């Protein structure tokens, strides 16, 4: 029978990879919490409507990339392709914004998009993100960017390119939409099918099209359609970023792939990901999303960063921490007759603190000691017939290559001393 493989576009996170992810997730949590963000977790399956209304029916995500299915009651459900709509639904549904504004939350977890799998692009991937809900100050757009910036710094990642832009207010975008339609209409014949269709329903998406990139060059610039208030908001964000020592590159073609944004949008890029042609993370302000989801109008801003892509960059830059040993101590018996004493010893050591592996294999002692090396143990505790009789154990320092026989009562202290570096 053929072996069963992991589904296309997914991969297993094996223990070494898990350690690297934990390092990243811990760093994100620590940085977000240092700014007063609190952890939140929302369901992985959501009503499909959350995304069709929230992310937008004319986006690539909703049109082509969602894993959607019917539950047994015939309701349409979707594996979440992103976390903003669900987080906003959760926060506003629980009225958290009535107790405190803004509500600052952070999250981490799996997301799903049926994109063509390649390096840094998977069907199942992981994001860390934050959302800051209930206040419209440009200082908060700058704050969330600073959180991400500090997160990258905590991972030792340098060379991040931050691109920022403003999409303005709904009125600004209506003006810009007309300008785009005016520009693209005479060019309709040369547009790809998606762009021709979206020209009259969602022309902003044309700026995001890879196939018609050459035409984007001559398109009108969004900034020219922004009113005074939108320009002031953007200028304030750039000023605050500057004050925080964060270099931002203005990219007036940046529109993002999701429809819910207004005013500030941004993306993080890194040269180490060049081959993948994709951003490391992104976000922005989404003041209109709450109403699209049926809630009272509530302004908000946030970001999400791709965990796998960030790890690719950390790996390329050599900032990943070294592999972690599975255990500090290996306990083994010389013969099966001392197995019970060995198990009791392992329990005693775990109670005292050291991570302890119990070797239960029936094999020669030298083989058991080799296994100690493979789990990364610094100390082996060996129990033979004589030790059982004398209520003692042999403690071997595998690095210092010395050993001593100590009474069971002193074994934990001896092991701890060796692990602490003074044998
Ligand atoms: P997004 O730009 O669609 O934004 O995704 C954010 C990040 O998720 C990307 O920059 C990328 O690193 C990662 N990502 C996306 N798709 C894939 C994939 N197929 N494979 C691997 N990584 C991927 C959002 O999702 C918004 N919710 C961000 C946001 C939060 N805006 C406001 N608040």
Q: Show the CA angle centred on residue 54, arms to residues 144 and 26, nearest 5°.
A: 35
Alpha carbons 359 and 355: distance in angstroms, whole number? 13
Instruction: Determine the distance separating the centroid of ligand 1 and the alpha carbon of 189, expressed in angstroms.
Output: 32
pLDDT per residue as tens digits for the range 82-97:
999 999 999 999 999 9
Q: What is the CA radius of gyration of the chain?
A: 28
pLDDT less than 70: residues of the chain: 275-276, 422-423
Tell me if 270 CB under 6 Å of ligand 1: no
Tell me if 282 CB under 6 Å of ligand 1: yes
Give pLDDT, residue 324.
Answer: 81
Nearest ligand 1 atom to the CA of 310 is: 12
Tell me if 149 CB under 6 Å of ligand 1: no
Instruction: Determine the distance separating the centroid of ligand 1 and the alpha carbon of 282, expressed in angstroms.
Output: 6
pLDDT per residue as tens digits for the range 194-243:
899 999 899 998 988 888 888 888 999 999 999 999 999 999 999 999 99
Give pLDDT, residue 376.
Answer: 93
Tell me if 131 CB under 6 Å of ligand 1: yes
What is the DSSP annotation of 31-86?
HHHHTT-EE----SEEEHHHHHHHT-TTSHHHHHS-EEEE-TTS-EEEE-S-SHHH
Half-sphere exposure of 11 (CA within 13 A, CB side): 14
Q: In this structure, which residue's CA is closest to atom 8 in ligand 1? A: 306
Q: Who contacts 53 (Cβ-Cβ below 8 Å, separation ≥6)? A: 292, 293
Strand pairing report for 356-358 and 329-333 = parallel
Instruction: Determine the distance separating the centroid of ligand 1 and the alpha carbon of 90, expressed in angstroms.
Output: 19
Q: Who contacts 394 (Cβ-Cβ below 8 Å, separation ≥6)? A: 381, 382, 383, 384, 387, 403, 404, 405
Alpha carbons 309 and 122: distance in angstroms, whole number? 10
Q: In this structure, which residue's CA is closest to atom 18 in ligand 1? A: 121
Tell me if 283 CB under 6 Å of ligand 1: yes
| Contact call for residues 249 and 163 (beta carbons, < 8 A) | yes
Q: In this structure, which residue's CA is closest to atom 11 in ligand 1? A: 306
Nearest alpha-carbon partner for 171 in 230, 253, 252: 230
Tell me if 279 CB under 6 Å of ligand 1: yes
Alpha carbons 251 and 296: distance in angstroms, whole number? 32
Instruction: Determine the distance separating the centroid of ligand 1 and the alpha carbon of 183, expressed in angstroms.
Output: 30
Instruction: Determine the distance separating the centroid of ligand 1 and the alpha carbon of 233, expressed in angstroms.
Output: 24
Nearest alpha-carbon partner for 312 in 21, 67, 9: 21
Alpha carbons 91 and 324: distance in angstroms, whole number? 37
Nearest ligand 1 atom to the CA of 285 is: 32
Q: Show the CA angle centred on residue 276, arms to residues 274 and 282, nearest 5°.
A: 85
Give pLDDT, residue 275.
Answer: 67
Q: Which strands make up the sheet holding 67-70, listed edge to edge? A: 45-47, 76-79, 67-70
Tell me if 333 CB under 6 Å of ligand 1: no
Q: In this structure, which residue's CA is closest to atom 31 in ligand 1? A: 283
Alpha carbons 281 and 305: distance in angstroms, whole number? 4
Of 306, 309, 312, 313, which is best to mutate to test ligand 1, by the most ligand atoms within 8 angstroms of its C-beta? 306
Strand pairing report for 356-358 and 379-383 = unpaired
Instruction: Determine the distance separating the centroid of ligand 1 and the alpha carbon of 83, expressed in angstroms.
Output: 9
Tell me if 115 CB under 6 Å of ligand 1: yes
Q: Show the CA angle centred on residue 262, arms to residues 236 and 50, nearest 5°.
A: 140
Nearest ligand 1 atom to the CA of 113 is: 19
Give pLDDT, residue 184.
Answer: 93
Give pLDDT, residue 422.
Answer: 62
Alpha carbons 92 and 296: distance in angstroms, whole number? 9
Alpha carbons 349 and 417: distance in angstroms, whole number? 13
Tell me if 60 CB under 6 Å of ligand 1: no
Of 128, 269, 304, which is best to mutate to test ligand 1, by the most ligand atoms within 8 angstroms of its C-beta? 304
Q: In this structure, which residue's CA is closest to atom 21 in ligand 1? A: 121
Give pLDDT, residue 325.
Answer: 87
Q: Who contacts 14 (Cβ-Cβ below 8 Å, separation ≥6)? A: none
| Contact call for residues 313 and 275 (beta carbons, < 8 A) | no
């Amino acid at each position: 029978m053929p072996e069963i493989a992991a589904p296309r576009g997914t991969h297993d996170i094996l223990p070494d990879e898990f350690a690297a992810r934990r390092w990243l997730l811990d760093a994100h949590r620590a940085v977000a919490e240092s700014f007063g963000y609190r952890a939140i977790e929302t369901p992985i399956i959501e009503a499909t409507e959350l995304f069709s209304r929230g992310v937008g029916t004319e986006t690539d995500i909703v049109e082509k990339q969602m894993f959607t299915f019917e539950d047994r009651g015939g309701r349409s459900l979707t594996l979440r392709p992103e976390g903003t709509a669900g987080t906003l639904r959760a926060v506003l549904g629980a009225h958290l914004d009535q107790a405190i504004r803004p509500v600052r939350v952070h999250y981490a977890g799996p997301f799903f998009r049926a994109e063509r799998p390649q390096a840094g692009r998977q069907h199942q991937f992981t994001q860390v993100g934050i959302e800051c809900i209930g206040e419209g100050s440009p200082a908060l757009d700058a704050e969330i960017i600073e959180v991400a910036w500090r997160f990258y710094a905590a991972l030792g990642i340098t060379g991040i390119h931050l691109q920022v832009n403003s999409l303005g207010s709904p009125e600004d975008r209506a003006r810009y939409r007309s300008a785009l339609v005016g520009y693209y209409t005479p060019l309709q014949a040369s547009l790809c099918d998606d762009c021709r269709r979206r020209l009259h329903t969602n022309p902003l998406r044309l700026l995001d099209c890879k196939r018609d990139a050459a035409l984007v060059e001559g398109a009108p610039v969004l900034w020219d359609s922004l009113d005074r208030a939108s320009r002031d908001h953007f200028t304030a964000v750039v000023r605050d970023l500057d004050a925080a020592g964060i270099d931002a590159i203005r990219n007036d073609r940046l529109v993002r792939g999701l429809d819910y944004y207004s005013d500030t949008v941004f993306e993080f890029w890194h040269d180490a990901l060049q081959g993948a042609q994709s951003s490391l993370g992104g976000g922005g302000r989404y003041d209109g999303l709450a109403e699209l989801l049926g809630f009272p109008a509530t302004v908000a801003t946030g970001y999400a960063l791709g965990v796998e892509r960030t790890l690719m960059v950390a790996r390329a830059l050599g900032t990943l921490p070294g592999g972690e040993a599975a255990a500090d101590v290996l306990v083994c018996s010389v013969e099966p007759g001392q197995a019970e004493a060995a198990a009791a010893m392992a329990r005693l050591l775990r109670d005292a603190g050291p991570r302890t592996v119990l070797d239960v294999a029936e094999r020669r002692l030298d083989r058991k000691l080799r296994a100690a090396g493979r789990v990364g143990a610094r100390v082996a505790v060996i129990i033979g017939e004589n030790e059982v009789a004398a209520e003692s154990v042999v403690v071997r320092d595998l690095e210092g290559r010395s050993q001593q026989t100590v009474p069971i009562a002193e074994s934990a202290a001896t092991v701890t001393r060796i692990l602490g570096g003074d044998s």
